[in-house]
Amino acid sequence: MGQCITLIYTKQVIDKSDIPAGQIYFEEKGYSIFPLDIDAFEMDNIASSFREYPSFNALKENQSSFSDNAKSIIKLIEQLKIDTLLLQHYSEWGDYPTDVYSVIVKDGKIYPNRDHDSIEDILEYFVTIEDSPNLDRYRSYEICEYLFNSQSI
């Protein structure tokens, strides 16, 4: 079964009152995980644009030319009050990765390099295997929406 999902995930503690109404989210192994309904093509553009800025604050100051989805990501990060996160799109077909786009933000600094753009490197950057969230659960936005609404995860 193929996987196609865009996620924000962080180990920072999120105050539930900061999560916007209607926002799908999960908590797993110390992570807060926020699925987003953004396709690979747009996420590639968003990731490339975001990595042009040295910090999240610089990104916020220059967001006027961004797409609505990019602006919604910035707004969500602000609302959640997080400064260390991984924004990632991952797609696979037949268990083979087809698209992996990511943005790493640590302490408000945006990492500009694309050398973290493999799922293994990204996960190693944030976690060890023992405390890694089970990303197989988050196969698509629609599945996440169903799981969140049925509270079965």
Q: Residue 98: which H helix or E strand, with range?
A: strand 96-106
Phi and psi of 35, rounded to 5°? -70, 145
Q: Identify the band that residue 133 occupies on the pLDDT scale cut at 50, 70 and 90.
A: confident
Taking CA atoms, 3 is separated from 22, 51, 68, 106, 136, in Å, by: 23, 24, 24, 26, 8
Up-side HSE of residue 31: CA atoms within 13 Å toward CB? 22
pLDDT for the residue 114: 56
CB contact at 8 A, 1 and 139: yes
How far apart are alpha carbons 93 and 23 in whole angstroms? 27
pLDDT for the residue 50: 92
Q: Where is average pLDDT lowest: 12-21, 58-67, 88-97, 125-134?
A: 125-134
Structure tokens, 40: 């690979």
- Strand-pair category, 85-93 with 31-36: unpaired
Q: How many CB atoms lie within 10 A of CB 127?
A: 17
Q: Residue 87: which H helix or E strand, with range?
A: strand 85-93
Q: Please check the confidence at residue 3 and state whether its pLDDT lies above 80.
A: no
Q: Please check the confidence at residue 119 and state whether its pLDDT lies above 50.
A: no
Q: Please check the confidence at residue 65 and state whether its pLDDT lies above 80.
A: yes
